[in-house]
Amino acid sequence: MAMAMKRVDRRARRGRSHAMSEINVTPFVDVMLVLLIVFMVTAPLLTVGVPVDLPKTKAQALGQDREPLSVTVRRDGRIYLQNAPVPEDQLVAKLSAIAANGYDQRIFVRGDKSVDYGRVMQVMAEISAAGFTHIGLVTDVAKPRDRK
């Protein structure tokens, strides 16, 4: 009879396993640190990269929830859509193609301060004539002057 009791005890011990109540957060922290580094490296690359010397103003920056399209008029008069150069006669067609994909957002026109004002207005007029209504001009914030 003692022999039969031993077998029952052994089976009972095998069937019971204690659940581990500790959470291992090391993999979670590792993933979060990798994501942080990836975002820190890629965030500066997300800005529009066409170098333009923008005029300075005292207006406050606009808050945006989505990144707008950017049309840039460089010093030499060339036009860029985001970072890609675009011939003037294809600008409206490219903007219309983007809008056909459901892109209903603001279009920011950036013009170098040395470019002719009429040239920037000509580009804005073409965009407006194509039916785009959310068009804005982009400037840099002016530094306050020292008053003596």
Question: In this structure, is residue 3 part of a structural domain?
Answer: no
Q: Which of 5-9, 50-54, 93-97 has the highest mean pLDDT?
A: 93-97
Strands 140-141 and 56-57: parallel
What CATH number is given to the structural domain containing 132?
3.30.420.270
What's the pTM value of the predicted model, to 2 decimals?
0.52
Q: Is residue 63 part of a domain?
A: yes
Counted domains in the chain: 1
Does residue 123 have a pLDDT over 70?
yes
Mean pLDDT score of the chain, rounded to an integer?
76
Q: Provide the pLDDT for residue 34.
A: 92
- pLDDT digits 0-9 by tens, 20-37: 778 888 888 999 999 999
Give the pLDDT confidence score for residue 24 in this predicted structure.
Answer: 84
76 domain-assigned:
yes
Paired tokens of 116: 């002719």
Q: Percentage of the chain with pLDDT > 70?
A: 66
According to DSSP, the residues that pair with 69 across neighbouring strands are 107
Residue range 37-80, pLDDT digits in tens: 988 887 766 665 666 666 777 776 666 556 678 888 888 888 99
pLDDT (0 to 100) of residue 30: 92
Choice between 141 and 97, residue whose per-residue pLDDT is larger: 97
Can you list the pairs that 85-91 forms with residues at least 24 positions away whose Cβ atoms lie under 8 Å?
88/123, 88/126, 91/123, 91/126, 91/127
Which three-class secondary structure state does DSSP give residue 107? strand
In a domain, 102, yes or no: yes
**Which domain range does residue 68 map to?**
48-141
DSSP 8-state assignment for residue 61 = P
Residue 105 reports pLDDT greater than 60? yes
Is the pLDDT at 129 greater than 80, yes or no?
yes
Dihedral sign (CA 99, 49, 135, 67): positive
